[in-house]
A and B are shown apart, each in its own frame.
Chain A
Amino acid sequence: EIVMTQSPLSLPVTPGEAASISCRSSQSLMDSNGYHYLEWYLQRPGQSPQLLIYLGSHRASGVPDRFSGSGSGTDFTLKISRVEAEDVGAYYCMQGLQTPFTFGPGTKVDIK
C-alpha cells in the first residue's frame, strides 16, 4: 500500500496571501507513460469533496486558476496564489496509481 503524508496538517491563512501544501508518497506515482497519478481535493465544511487537480498538475473543470499543482516522483505541492475566504476547508492529496487508492491525512485551512 502506498502511504501518503501531508504537511502542514493545519494552515491558518490571510486572505490575499499565498499558501502551499506539501504531499509526499511512499513510492513514485509516475507510470510508464510519464503521468503522475496524484490528485488534490478540497472538502469544504459540511460538503462532499471537490476535485481540484488530477495527474499532478491538471486543473479540473471550473477550478479557479489561483490553484496549481506541481511535483514529480514522490513529492507534490498544491499552491493557492491568493487565498480567498471560500478556500477554507480540508485539502487531501490522493494517489490513484494503484489500488488501494490512498489519501493523505488532510490539511485544514482556515482564515487567521
Chain B
Amino acid sequence: EVQLLDSGGGLVRPGGSLRLSCAASGFTFSSNAMSWVRQAPGKGLEWVSAISGDGTSTYYADSVKGRFTISRDISKSTLYLQMNRLGVEDTAVYYCAKRYSCSDERCYGFDYWGQGTPVTVSS
C-alpha cells in the first residue's frame, strides 16, 4: 500500500527556516516524480515545487524560488522541502504528492497525497 507521511511543520518566526519531510513507502521511490502543494487557511491549492524521479531536475513556483529547495533521498525514500526566509504568506498546510505516471517527459496525476503538515509563520 502506498503511503506518504508528511512531517516537520510548526510555528516559526518570519525570516526563519523549516525543513519538511515526506516519508514514502509502498512503491519504488526513484520511479516517480514528486511535488509539494500547499493550502493557505481557507484558500485553494497552490503548487510549490517538483522534483524528478532521479532527483536531477527541480522546479519551483515563482513565489518560493530562491528561498525553498526540494530534494529527495532515494536511500531513505524521503522527500524534503527546505524552506528559508519564511514570510507570513508561507503559512499553509503543506502536502507532498506523488506523480502517477509519465509520457515522454511530462508526468500526470497526483495519485497519492500525504496527510499534510501545517506551517505557521508568525511573530
**What residues make up the interface of A, taking CB atoms closer than 8 Å to B?**
1, 31, 33, 35, 37, 39, 41, 43, 48-51, 54-55, 60-61, 90, 92, 94, 96-97, 99-106
Partner of B108, one of A37, A61, A90, A105: A37
Taking the nearest CB of chain A, how far is it from the CB of B42, in angstroms? 11
**Residues of B close to A31: CB separation below 8 A:** 106
Stretch among B10-18, B73-81, B109-117 lining the A interface: B109-117
Given A33-B104, A49-B95, CB of A100 within 8 Å of CB of B62: yes
CB contact list, B60-76 vs A, under 8 A: 60-62
Chain B interface main SS type = strand
Q: Known contacts A33-B103, A33-B104, A99-B59; is A94 also within 8 Å of B111 by CB?
A: no
Of the candidates B45, B95, B106, the one whose C-beta lies within 8 Å of that of A103 is B45
Specify the chain B residue showing the minimal Cβ separation from A48.
B113
Asked, given contacts A54-B100, A100-B59, whether A61 binds B114 with beta carbons under 8 Å apart, the answer is no
Contact yes or no, B44 A39, CB < 8 A: no
Residues of B within 8 A of A (CB): 35, 37, 44-47, 50, 59-62, 95, 97, 100, 103-104, 106-111, 113-116
Sample of 14 more A-B contacts, CB < 8 Å, known A37-B108, A48-B113, A101-B47: A33-B104, A41-B45, A43-B45, A48-B114, A49-B37, A49-B95, A49-B110, A51-B111, A60-B111, A94-B47, A99-B47, A105-B44, A106-B44, A106-B45
On whether the beta carbons of B45 and A48 are closer than 8 Å, the reply is no
Residues of B within 8 A of A96 (CB): 106-109
Contacts A51-B100, A92-B44 given: A99-B50 contact, CB under 8 Å?
yes
The 7 nearest A-B residue pairs measured at CB: A54-B109, A48-B113, A101-B47, A99-B59, A103-B45, A106-B44, A100-B61
